[in-house]
Structure formats: C-alpha cells, structure tokens
Structure 1
Amino acid sequence: MFRCVRIWTDSEGNSEFEEGLIDLPKGDRGDTLSAVFDTASISFRETAPGGEYAWHPAPIRQFVLTLSGTLEFETKLGKRFTIRPGDILLAEDTTGGGHRWRLLGDAPWRRAYVILASGSAAGFVASTSLQSKDEAHG
C-alpha cells in the first residue's frame, strides 16, 4: 500500500488534511494494482536541502510523489504532518489560505507532480475508512 496524505480546503478556507492510502484492490502475480487515473501531465522538480515554501494553496489538483527528502507541512491552524520518500500527497487545497512546507535533513526534495484530469478519481482511502472496514470484518 502507498501512504497518502490528502490536503483540502474546508468551508472556512482553511487547509485540512487526513492520512490514508491509495487503494490497490486488484492484481495478479502477487502484485496489487490501483485503478488507472486520468491525468493531464507529469513534471519533476528538485529542491536543495534547507528549502521551504511560504503559505500557498496548491496551484491545481495533483498528486505529489516524493522520491527523496523529508518534509514537514503545516496548515494555518497549526496542524502538521510529515511526508517521506515513497509517500504521496494528494493536494486538493486549491483555494483559501493554503499550507507551507519546509525540507528537513540534508537530502534534496525530489518529486514528481502528476496533474489529475478534471473530475478524475484519485483512489484515496482515508485511514478512518480503513479502520471501519477492519472493524466490520474483524
């Protein structure tokens, strides 16, 4: 499973986030596989160690796939979460006050931005949904 943090804008214009994963419901040969998501583009970016970015909303609904580097994200409500290599950020807070981030440690942040097509599903399953499914089957 791929750890995913979804960040979105609430009704008051604040960025909120929740942890979960990208659903991998099927597969063969011992693999699990997500659905195919409609995308518009992919690009790559690298930020040197020590980098940070002040308050901003996401420019567009997108997956941010972290390849290297560890980041701390913060919302204007003071809530924080960490993204590590292999994690996926589903950035949906395209309005409001946004979030900020800072790069931790001495590794660069290498990432891929995958812009989702308009109306495309993202396959995100919140951790609370996972707990509910586990309890129902437990």
Structure 2
Amino acid sequence: MKNIIKGICVIMAFNTIAMANAQNKESKNLSFKVNKEESKDYIPAYRLINNADGTCAFEKGRIPTLKHMNTTTFWLSNKTEEWEKNAHPAPRRQYVITLKGNIKFKVSDGSTFIIKPGTILLAEDLKGKGHSWDMVNSKEWERLYVPIAEDADDFFIADNGAK
C-alpha cells in the first residue's frame, strides 16, 4: 500500500510539474517580445528625382516606420499599359508600394535599380523625360499608389544622409 501511495504521489508531482511547464510555455507564447534583429526602424526605398537639367536620377535610401504621412487617398493597380513602360515623368509625388512583382526602373543616364515587394518607390520626377520600367522575372505588377499631399514631407532619408 505504501508503494501505491508513493507511486500516486510521484505521478501527482510529475503532473503538477508538467502542468506548470505547459502553462509557462503558453504564457511565453502569449507574450510579445521584439527581437532587435527582427525589428526595423526603416523600410528600404528608392526616390526618383529631377536633376537641374530636367533629366531623371534616383537615390537609394529609407523611410522611417510609424510616421503619420500626409495623404488623403490611395488606390491599387495590377494593370499595365505599354505607354507606362516607356520613359515618362511621375504624374504626381507619390509612394508606389509593390505588393507583387519585381520591377526594374531605368533613369536618364541608363542607371537601373530593382524594386521588389518590401521596398518603397518614391516618385518625385515630375518633369522632363522621366523614368521607364519593365518587369523582371514577373508577369504581373501589383502595386498600391499613395499620393503625397502638396508640400508635405516625404520622410525619405538618402543613404548618404542628405535629405
């Protein structure tokens, strides 16, 4: 009988420890921890700009997260027309956020860069010949257009530190 009681006590102790461990694991899963390597303060970006002579160039940089930007509307597109692939200036200052596709942009001097999902394009080349683009290893370009209010800050920070 003593052995049975000891066995029951051991099983109860084991179950108590197992339940405590399970509760501890559940509470760890419910807590929200931010790993510094996973937490990013910026989103990578490219900005299309006009040079003084009217040609188009680009800057590589970033846009800070959690900034409230002065915008009033947005729209989605997955359609492309051939004229869009020819050189053209941006119709307005706007963020172009790629949701699907890899897009190769080309500026006046022949330089190129590729936008993939997770990188923001800031289109500010409003004059001159503008830029051109083409899909790379993609059949479709899904994107979100977010116009920037007139005279509003675009929050772009060039990699060289200049704004």
| TM-score where L is the length of structure 2 | 0.69
Within 5 Å, which residues of 2 pair with 1:77-116? 77-116=109-148
Within 5 Å, which residues of 2 pair with 1:64-75? 64-75=96-107
| Unpaired segments ≥5 residues, structure 1 | 25-32, 131-138
Equivalent residue, structure 2, for 1:133: none
Distance, in Å, in 2 between the alignment partners of 1:94 and 1:9 is: 7
| Unpaired segments ≥5 residues, structure 2 | 1-41
Question: Aligned pair count?
Answer: 120
For the 8 Å contact 1:64–1:112, the answer to whether it is kept is: yes
Paired-residue identity, %: 35
Which structure has the greater CA radius of gyration? 2
| TM-score where L is the length of structure 1 | 0.81
Equivalent residue, structure 1, for 2:70: 38
More strand by share: 1
More helix by share: 2
Secondary structure of 2:160's partner? helix
Which portions of structure 1, spanning 4 or more consecutive aligned residues, are displaced by more than 6 angstroms? none
Matching of residue 3 in structure 1 with residue 44 in structure 2: yes
Equivalent residue, structure 1, for 2:94: 62
More relative contact order in 1 or in 2 (CA 8 Å, sep 6+)?
1
After TM superposition, give the deviation of residue 108 of structure 1 in Å: 1.4
Matching of residue 21 in structure 1 with residue 62 in structure 2: yes
After TM superposition, give the deviation of residue 51 of structure 1 in Å: 10
